[in-house]
């Protein structure tokens, strides 16, 4: 690990000023991802700005939104009454992530900004465009069992890694905004525009500008509290990243689906919102046949490598399973 300087701001203003003054600095929250990245030499900031003393832990309800501070712990969010009552899909997704110990340290902001789990990214001896732009993508033509099957249609991907977060899959299915503080004040970004699908600059995972700090997320109230399911398919029962994950949320009435949300994890450079499916589901009575039809619809645009072709079937199947559970049909 490269020696670094450690700073501890008390206010958001102080934090963003420090970041502006130290271009090579990184914020550290729970450290569950950043410390690993530093230990393996993937990132070597000369300055760490410890944001744990900023007042960003609060979870509250304002108007029609649940606002969750960037430093709220994954475990606290998952069991907070406001979240379990109003955003149960989010709670479900959080509990599917990592382990109890890690969720006790991991923050919402850090979860949004966690790096991919591509194993080539983690090994500095191997080429990787995300870690070292221009060096090549080892996963392309390598062991790409966990890699993406959906891409930005307008470019040849320079990185085929997937975003690893479970929480972000649920947030993608819901209507979420990210609240950001920067040297020039506060701004918000819709969640769907927060992460990058494009890998033109593979080293960048999000549209956060250098030195900007996430201060909160805000999740809109919705009518999905009854019919939702977060399904995570993984290599073991717990403590593994998703091979494929599905966040499914339905608003149902009179035996019909009135509103549907489907987001996928483990399939693209960012959580994948399944817009077409949502339209196809609307106004229809739930059935396995319908779910199968819509699930397979978008799979036509999927592209697999040598080791991840299974993901095409698996994603469709997982979607059927998640929608069935959400709809309450067996």
Residues that bind ligand FAD (CB under 6 A): 26-34, 51, 70, 74, 97-98, 102, 105-107, 109-111, 113-114, 164-167, 213-214, 241
- Residue 89 CB partners (closer than 8 Å, separation 6+): 170, 173, 174, 224, 228, 229, 230, 247, 249
Element (H, E) at 231: strand 227-233
Stretch that binds other proteins, among 46-54, 69-77, 190-198, 227-235 (CB under 8 A): 227-235
Give the residue, chosen from 137, 257, 277, 327, that forms a contact with ligand SF4 under the rule CB under 6 A.
Answer: 137
Binding at 310: pick from ligand FAD, other proteins, ligand SF4, none (beta carbon under 5-8 Å per type): other proteins
CA dist 168 and 108 (Å) reads: 10
Query: How distant is the alpha carbon of residue 209 from its chain centre?
Result: 18
Give the residue, chosen from 54, 83, 149, 318, that forms a contact with other proteins under the rule CB under 8 A.
Answer: 318
Residue 17: strand, helix, or coil: helix
Q: Minimum distance from CB of 247 to ligand SF4 (Å)?
A: 23
Among 256, 315, 259, which Cα is nearest to 287's? Answer: 256
With respect to ligand FAD, which residue has the nearer C-beta, 26 or 146?
Answer: 26
The encoded tokens of residue 281 equal 């589901």
With respect to ligand SF4, which residue has the nearer C-beta, 164 or 173?
Answer: 164
CA dist 143 and 76 (Å) reads: 36
Q: Is 103 exposed, middle or buried (0-12, 13-18, 19+ CB in 10 A)?
A: buried
Give the residue, chosen from 65, 67, 86, 130, that forms a contact with ligand SF4 under the rule CB under 6 A.
Answer: 130
Q: By rule CB under 6 A, what string of x and - marks binding of each residue 150-179 to ligand SF4?
A: ---------xxx------------------
With respect to other proteins, which residue has the nearer C-beta, 208 or 245?
Answer: 245
Q: Minimum distance from CB of 314 to other proteins (Å)?
A: 5
């Amino acid at each position: 690990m490269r020696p670094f300087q450690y700073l501890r701001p008390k206010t958001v203003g102080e934090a963003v000023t420090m970041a502006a003054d130290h271009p090579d600095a990184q914020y550290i929250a729970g450290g569950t991802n950043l410390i690993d990245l530093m230990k393996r030499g993937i990132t070597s900031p000369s300055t760490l700005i410890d944001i744990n003393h900023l007042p960003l832990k609060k979870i509250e309800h304002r108007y029609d939104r649940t606002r969750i501070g960037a430093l709220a712990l994954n475990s606290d969010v998952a069991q907070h009454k406001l979240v379990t009552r109003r955003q149960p899909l989010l709670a479900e997704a959080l509990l599917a992530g990592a382990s109890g110990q890690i969720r006790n340290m991991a923050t919402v902001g850090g979860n949004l900004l966690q790096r991919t789990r591509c194993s080539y990214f983690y090994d500095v001896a191997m080429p990787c465009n995300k870690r070292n732009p221009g060096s090549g993508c080892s996963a392309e033509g390598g062991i790409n069992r966990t890699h993406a099957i959906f891409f930005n249609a307008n470019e040849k991907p320079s990185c085929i890694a997937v975003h690893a977060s479970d929480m972000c899959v649920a947030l993608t299915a819901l209507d979420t905004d990210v609240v950001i503080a920067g040297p020039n004040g506060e701004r918000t970004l819709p969640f769907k525009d927060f992460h990058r699908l494009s890998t033109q600059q593979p080293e960048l995972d999000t549209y956060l500008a250098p030195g900007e700090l996430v201060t909160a997320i805000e999740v809109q109230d919705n009518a999905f509290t009854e019919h939702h399911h977060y399904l995570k398919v993984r290599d073991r029962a717990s403590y593994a990243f998703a091979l494929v994950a599905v966040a499914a949320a339905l608003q149902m009435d009179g035996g019909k689906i009135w509103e549907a949300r489907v987001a996928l994890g483990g399939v693209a450079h960012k959580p994948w919102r399944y817009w077409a499916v949502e339209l196809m589901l609307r106004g229809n009575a739930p059935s396995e046949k319908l779910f199968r039809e819509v699930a397979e619809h978008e799979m036509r645009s999927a592209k697999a490598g040598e080791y991840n072709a299974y993901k095409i079937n698996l994603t469709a199947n997982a979607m059927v399973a998640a929608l069935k559970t959400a709809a309450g049909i067996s």
